Structure 1
Amino acid sequence: MEQMDKHRREDFVQELFDSIAKRYDLFNAVLTLNQDSYWRSFAVNKAYIKTGQSILDVCCGTGKLSIALAEKAGRQGQIVGLDFSETMLQQAKENIRKTPYSQRITLLQGNALHLPFSDQSFDCTTIGFGLRNVADIAKALSEMYRVTKSGGTVLSVELSKPSAPMLKQLYFLYFEHLLPLIGNLGFKKNQPYYNLPASLRTLPDHSEIQKLFLQVGLKQVTSYQLTGGIAAVHLGIK
């Protein structure tokens, strides 16, 4: 039954992102006051990425994090962006085509819970705003750990939950009421952005994510709370 629940969740999330792919970047910028760009930049700068490294970007979505990683890895760097939404990958292809990095980023359709790569394939493995949507966070992190080389890094940047009581109340008021109304403008069904508060409610807080990083075997795990705890970056070394 649990396995069936995971399959249904995967189908739901895939359908959701297929439906919002063309507007995903615009709404992320508007609804986060463009903080998502800062969060990605902060994460990439913390990832110990060196020139020429190979990097896997899991749940790459529209490719924004993959592009930032390609810039950091330099001319010899190679990035693989993986996502299970074909529509999101099409949008990523369009975004990447507008950059100087199209020859260094390969896009691939696949599942974060069953990464189609051999053990120790990448110097760094990342996931941006994807943990809250996978059916099994521990399994996704375990797969990221598996495909990362010894001494390599595993990185997550994700929405989180503020700890300050007043900010936490305002945060959930915004995400549970105002954000879905804005985000769903133009959709016939009030579905896509109404899923965001639900995914945040079930997402472990930043301290629990840090424990999961440790449980899969990562060492020297560090976390950073950004913008008052609205987002969090986690980093571990294999």
Structure 2
Amino acid sequence: MKTENEPAGKTHFGYQTIDKNDKEKMVASVFHSVAAKYDIMNDLMSFGVHRLWKRFTIDASAVRPGNKVLDLAGGTGDLTRKFSEIVGPTGQVVLADINDSMIKVGREKLRNKGYVGNIEYVQANAEALPFADNTFDLVTIAFGLRNVTNKDNALASIFRVLKPGGRLLVLEFSKPQQEWLNKAYDFYSFNILPSMGQAIANDKESYQYLSESIRMHPDQDTLKSMMENVGFEQVGYHNLTGGIVALHKGFKF
């Protein structure tokens, strides 16, 4: 399980060590490739459980009518859709993603379902968010932080754009808490998931990377410390599905 201690100028792309300047375009290539099949693969890969993880995140958000929400790495808009309903016409949801293919899929899906009034779409890098200080009541990033080149920079950027009293929710794959589950999850991730990606999306390599990126992501306590180091307070996490996924929450005061 990775920490942020990497050689100068280097970072990880799955299990590969690469130049930091190359990661953004390599991750972009993965998500350009998987965008069209992203939703169906999420359902297949998680057996639909990702919907419960996202529902838990929404319930934990304490979002209210009139709030301004940033759904960072918002992809195809699952969280954006629900937040749009909750904040209502007096609120706003910004779906931001670094990948324009993912934004296009999300925008088309949401507009086809009639979500047009209070949603804005922005292509943005999490490490340098193009928003003013103290803008959002809530920032969420679901299954996106592990793909960011410098997670510390991204967390600091999120902290900056949150209003005082605002909160961050990070929903991300993490470390299973039982050894038997860890072994079973490894077997599934590296023996079944890439083959599923080949069969459904004709892209084994991208899903191999996604499996590797999960293993290289900081574990629960490491991510908690990283959030605290950039200024978040009352940071805690809740393990879901035995720690396969964890929801971290922190506040800006």
TM-score, L = length of structure 2: 0.90
Cα shift readout 1:11-40 (whole Å, capped 9, x = no counterpart): 000111011101001000111011111111
Aligned to 2:187: 173
Asked whether 1:235 is paired with 2:249, we answer yes
Counterpart amino acid of residue 186 in structure 2: F
Deviation (angstroms), 1:95: 1.5
Cα shift readout 1:192-225 (whole Å, capped 9, x = no counterpart): 1010121012101111111111111111112110
Aligned-partner SS, 1:184: helix
Cα shift readout 1:157-196 (whole Å, capped 9, x = no counterpart): 1111202000000001101111111112255553210101
Where does 1:1-238 land on structure 2 (aligned, <5 Å)?
2=9, 5-185=19-199, 190-238=204-252
Q: Distance in 2 between matches of 1:55 and 1:142?
A: 17
Counterpart amino acid of residue 26 in structure 1: I
Does the 8 A contact of 2:34 with 2:201 survive in 1? no
Higher relative contact order (CA 8 A, sep 6+): 2
**Worse overlay, 185-194 or 147-156:** 185-194
- The runs of 5 or more residues in structure 1 that have no matched partner are none
Deviation (angstroms), 1:151: 0.4
Counterpart amino acid of residue 169 in structure 2: L
Cα distance change of structure 1 residues 7 and 237 upon mapping to structure 2, 3 Å threshold = same
Counterpart amino acid of residue 58 in structure 1: L
Q: Distance in 1 between matches of 2:151 and 2:78?
A: 22
Q: Distance in 2 between matches of 1:39 and 1:188?
A: 26
Deviation (angstroms), 1:71: 2.2
Deviation (angstroms), 1:2: 1.1
Does the 8 A contact of 1:184 with 1:192 survive in 2? no
Counterpart amino acid of residue 211 in structure 1: S
Q: Distance in 1 between matches of 2:32 and 2:134?
A: 31
TM-score, L = length of structure 1: 0.95
**Worse overlay, 17-26 or 102-111:** 102-111
Does the 8 A contact of 1:48 with 1:153 survive in 2? no
Aligned-partner SS, 2:126: coil
Does the 8 A contact of 1:44 with 1:72 survive in 2? no
Percent identity over the alignment is 35
Aligned-partner SS, 2:160: helix
Counterpart amino acid of residue 184 in structure 1: Q
Does the 8 A contact of 2:236 with 2:250 survive in 1? yes
What is the RMSD of the two structures over their aligned residues, measured on CA atoms? 1.5
Q: Distance in 2 between matches of 1:139 and 1:203?
A: 15
**Worse overlay, 35-44 or 63-72:** 63-72
Q: Distance in 2 between matches of 1:99 and 1:160?
A: 32
Aligned-partner SS, 2:134: coil
Cα shift readout 1:81-128 (whole Å, capped 9, x = no counterpart): 111111111100111113343211111111111100111111111101
Aligned-partner SS, 2:163: strand
Q: Distance in 2 between matches of 1:110 and 1:172?
A: 32
